[in-house]
Chains A and B, each alone.
Chain A
Amino acid sequence: MKKILQLTLGIITSVGGFLEIGSVVTAVQAGAAFGYQLLWAILLGTVCLIFLVEMSGRLSAVSKHTIVDAMRERFGFPFFSIVTLGIVIVAFMVLVAELGGIGLSLQILTGIGFPWWAIPISLVVWLLMWKGTFSLIENVGSLLGLVTISFVVAAVELNPDWSSAAHGLLPTASGDQKAKYGFIAVSILGASISPYLMYFYSSGAIEGEWDETYLAMNRIISGFGMSFGGLLSMAVLICAALALQPRGIDVDKFEQVALLMTTALPKWGFFLFAASMLFACLGAALEISLAISYFFAQGFGWNWSEDLSPSRDARFAFTYTIIILLAAVPLLFGVDPIKVTMMSMALTSATLPLAIVPFLFLMNDPIYLGKHRNGWISNSVVAIIILISFVLAVISIPLEIMGG
């Protein structure tokens, strides 16, 4: 029974991790600018993520260490500190974007500008972490996150040409606008393959006291959970391809994204969109704050656990408190969350090797995994996809900057 309930870990990791402002904005931009042509990027990202998340769970269940524990112990503090710096900086930017996403959702619902929401939102996020337990965050997040199924409903309502859509699952070189195509592809990959997801999932496995008997469940969770997220992203892209592209609407601002479901679901589309964004970004904000704090706490050997009250893991609690407060600051100054989103997604892609290469080493280490080490398929799939992301990022990001 407990194992079945663990399925919720997969769903929230997916909804909060996969479907958040990054994946929505990139999918909408892709659909609006290129129709179905970038579905392959979402597929590639999802496949890679399924492998990575499964590995994260396997590492923790077998070695009883989190990824961060193992990274410091296996590679030593100096290397660990470089990886931490890179990952934390990018993750922090994504956190700012997520809080901004919550703010923008509230803005379109109430008319009150998102900078005004920055402080109330951080307080709520902080309170949930302060008083909540890991299971509370998991379960409530999963349930609320289910409202995002409305994207799938909307996509179906719009009556897509499914065979054209299927063609989008294979990469095609776009005609003109190559730089933009490449940049959006890179951003989709960065939005899908977010390292913070892995640290969150790995810590969740330790909180849930997983052992080798959980390995099969782990595969099911990562497979279904991440596929669910991937499906949602594809639905968003399809909605944009049908609702926005034919009208020539290219997406720059959140207000335009909000029109995604108004034609497909006239009565509720707008509100379902706002609610979906609100809950998905909230889930992501919680996950990222936790993931960053885990990096510090597990890396330095502090007590950490969402199930402990804050006075029992004081340094961990202090860390996430500071992080959430700092993340609100750019929003207070009116920094555009959409711009932060696009930048952080591309940067995630560019810094993926930093997170994934050491991780792959760990996954092949007999000390941590014994007979459960990676097979050649897992290694190859991940290595190839990360290489693709990195190369695309190195080419596209400068091109996009140059191209204005």
Chain B
Amino acid sequence: MNLISSLYFSAPEIFLIISGLVLLLVAAFGGDKTARTVTILAVAALFGAAVYTTDLLTNPAYELGGEAWAGIYRMDSFGSFAKILIYLAAIGSLIVTPKFFAENGGYRPEYAILVLFSSVGMALMVSAVNLMTLYMGLELMSLSSYVLASFSRSDNRSAEAGLKYFVLGALASGILLYGMSLLYGFTGSTSYLGIRLALQGGLSMGATFGIVLILAGLAFKIAAVPFHMWTPDVYEGAPTPVSAFFSTAPKVAAVAILMRISLDTFGEHTLAWQQIVIFAALASIVVGALGAIGQDNIKRLLAYSSINNVGFILIGLAAATPAGASGMLVYLTIYVAMSLGSFVAVMMLKDAQGSQIEKISSMAGMVREKPLLAWCIFFLMLSLAGIPPLFGFYGKFVVFQAAVQADMVALAAIGIAASVIGAFYYLKICKVIMFDDPAGEVVGDTTTSNWAVLLICSLIISPLGWLLTKPLVELADKAASSLFFVI
């Protein structure tokens, strides 16, 4: 637990913070024209952090992980797995950003820096083993996100999205903080291990309230029903690259801390939170599916789709087994590819004036004009719906299998039956782009960076993705097992 190992374990975060500060200086002195350079450097920094973290994840020398900074930070394979996903998602959404703002105007170097700081916050969250560190990371992420949501200063919708996100996010943070303080009051510790040890004797009423409030705060962050109301508005109003970012990286981070807190800190009181998770899972699946049906705005629809997907991820948590946790990580990985790909595809829907098309009806018959883009959207939608042989099915496969193995057959049956409702609205988009008469509005996009991200995501969700299952499951199993250590 000395300084060197602490530095070594948390090197990616430290490196990213320093990069962020340096880039901030570059931006301050260089002005707006450095925006592109700063973005490229930020991507490079995130990539470096991801590579370093991959080494921490795969190197057998760090198999067991280790504590850092006097027990407030923990390097383990679970955190590393989540962090790699977060960094990759941030990279993906950064790559497509400059072009988007170049057309709409108003791109500034602060964007990339905010994403960078937000990523650091998320990385701290997933590695935190102390409620204070967790809260700090969470707020670093959230504050950056609020600014990102309202980044298009001239756009009213964007400003509205930022304000809504801020007000509701602050409320959720308050709830979370209240839960933490209750927990501290009843256990006398803010470290996960301390809380776990203190709760071994049994749950007092106050501690139960603490758990419930913490779960409620986290449910807001992952946009699980009944704390999902902000999602459609924020995703719709925020600039599309920001929506792509919101639907991936912060979701991974929030799900990851939810997993760590539930399975590690409250790991011996599964019954106390399991019913809450089951309710949130089923409610998210159903509300996400039903809410999406009436939407004519593709971004709103994708927001409901992300609520729906969170429901499926929570099924894995409800199982409360290593297989369930591993399934959640696999699902998250696939979800990041699907969600990022979908938002990038949406970003590429341009009309003749170069402005973005968000209405689903305007996408009618686009397969005639833009076949490749249309087929990508087609497969992304069916993958989100979980139709085999697309890779999205595998995510559902692993979480439902885990639920059945944990003897929760009824939960699995209801959840999977509700997924058919979701298939309906994904089919609606497929129908509009494939079957309808061409509206002739989509002229498409030839930006290389967009195509690169879209095609990589599409390749991952294509049946070729199945070849990834072995290494993916191996890593996810390893990551999940580090949550289930025995004291």
Query: Do they bind each other?
Result: no
Residues of B within 8 A of A (CB): none
